[in-house]
Amino acid sequence: MTELLEVRELRKYFPVKGIFFTKGHVKAVDGVSFSIKKGETFGLVGESGCGKTTVGRTILRLIEPDSGEIVFEGKNVVEMGGKELLWFRRKAQIMFQDPYSSLNPRKTVFQIVIEPVRHYGIDVGDPEEFVVRLLERVGLNEMHLYRYPHEFSGGQRQRIALARILSVNPDFIVLDEPTSALDVSVQANILNMLRDIQREMDLTYLFISHDLAVVEYMSHRIGVMYLGKLVEVGDAERIFAEPLHPYTKALFSAIPVPDPEYERGKKVEQLVGEPPSPIDPPSGCRFHPRCRYAMDVCREKEPPLKDMGGDRSVACWLY
């Protein structure tokens, strides 16, 4: 598989405003690098506030990055403008978490789905037939064409949002917690549909979630974020089977296990305390105040993301 997207040293700081002066900066994304191959799902995980949503939105330039490169199909997105940016915005889409606020309540399903097609001037033949085909692909039908969002459940709204995304034939979709607002019974249907559509349309996903079981089910590769930094990146199966970074170990030990016998004999790490403030993160390794293995070097020097071989990188002085 060739790389579709490469993110290099991405940074985004948000100013924290006082009454008269800027009080500091939230270092939401602080030097993040990773790549996503064509056709794969890259899962981004971490506690809330670790910067994963900011990464997704900055890649799409919904938020402008402070520095770094975002290379999509060989072109640097950060330098794009005019027609090139329009092309990128069509090829790279986002599905939001909240199906209740992401659709315009005053528009019918037909208007919602056809809107981006008209915006980008795409010739789709008969617009009604085109929208019906898309609705059928996401498990809805022509009966839904002239209904309004309030008439649908959360799961159905996410299906409408997906039909709208697919209408412009994208290559890449940021899925930002796409099922976390839905009932568990509906989640599986949406996740399976996303996987089927990915195979059929050769789509590439950045899947952002705090739900580790869902990330494990969806992802080929994953990146684990802590306080604006990536601490472990690589093959999802290998990382879930044998996490290396102490933070990843602690995070994964919180995944509920259906059979407690399975856990017997495994050393369970505990994630203690809350993440420190991203305005003034700890020196050296940002995880050191919560890490049971912390050494002197951890407090002084930041560990680089080290290539461990076999598609695995870890930022920890233990390795």
Give the binding site for ligand SF4 (CB under 6 A). Answer: 246, 285, 287-288, 291, 293-295, 298, 303, 316-318
Q: Minimum distance between the CB of residue 230 and ligand SF4, rounded to whole angstroms?
A: 13
Instruction: Considering the complex, state which of residue 27 and residue 288 has its C-beta at the smaller distance from ligand SF4.
Output: 288
**CA 198 vs CA 38, 54, 93, 170, 172: distances in Å:** 11, 23, 13, 11, 10
DSSP 260: G
Q: Minimum distance between the CB of residue 276 and ligand SF4, rounded to whole angstroms?
A: 12
Instruction: Considering the complex, state which of residue 234 and residue 246 has its C-beta at the smaller distance from ligand SF4.
Output: 246
Q: Minimum distance between the CB of residue 298 and ligand SF4, rounded to whole angstroms?
A: 3
Contact 126, 205 (CB under 8 A): no
Q: Minimum distance between the CB of residue 50 and ligand SF4, rounded to whole angstroms?
A: 15
Report the C-alpha gap between 100 and 95 in whole angstroms.
12
Contact 13, 24 (CB under 8 A): no
Amino acid at 243: P
Report the C-alpha gap between 221 and 311 in whole angstroms.
9
Instruction: Considering the complex, state which of residue 113 and residue 285 has its C-beta at the smaller distance from ligand SF4.
Output: 285
Report the C-alpha gap between 62 and 58 in whole angstroms.
6
Instruction: Considering the complex, state which of residue 5 and residue 45 has its C-beta at the smaller distance from ligand SF4.
Output: 45
Q: Environment class of residue 113 by beta-carbon count within 10 Å: exposed (0-12), middle (13-18) or buried (19+)? A: buried
Q: Which two tokens stand for residue 213?
A: 């079981």
Of 84, 61, 65, 72, give the one whose Cα is nearest residue 12.
65
Instruction: Considering the complex, state which of residue 12 and residue 245 has its C-beta at the smaller distance from ligand SF4.
Output: 245
Report the C-alpha gap between 158 and 304 in whole angstroms.
39
Instruction: Considering the complex, state which of residue 27 and residue 159 has its C-beta at the smaller distance from ligand SF4.
Output: 27
Instruction: Considering the complex, state which of residue 144 and residue 288 has its C-beta at the smaller distance from ligand SF4.
Output: 288
Q: Minimum distance between the CB of residue 234 and ligand SF4, rounded to whole angstroms?
A: 16
Q: Where is 306: in which H helix or E strand?
A: strand 306-307
Task: Decide: helix, strand or coil at residue 128.
Answer: helix
Task: Decide: helix, strand or coil at residue 170.
Answer: coil
Q: Minimum distance between the CB of residue 260 and ligand SF4, rounded to whole angstroms?
A: 27
Q: Minimum distance between the CB of residue 293 and ligand SF4, rounded to whole angstroms?
A: 4
Contact 29, 202 (CB under 8 A): no
Instruction: Considering the complex, state which of residue 188 and residue 318 has its C-beta at the smaller distance from ligand SF4.
Output: 318
Report the C-alpha gap between 313 and 102 in whole angstroms.
36
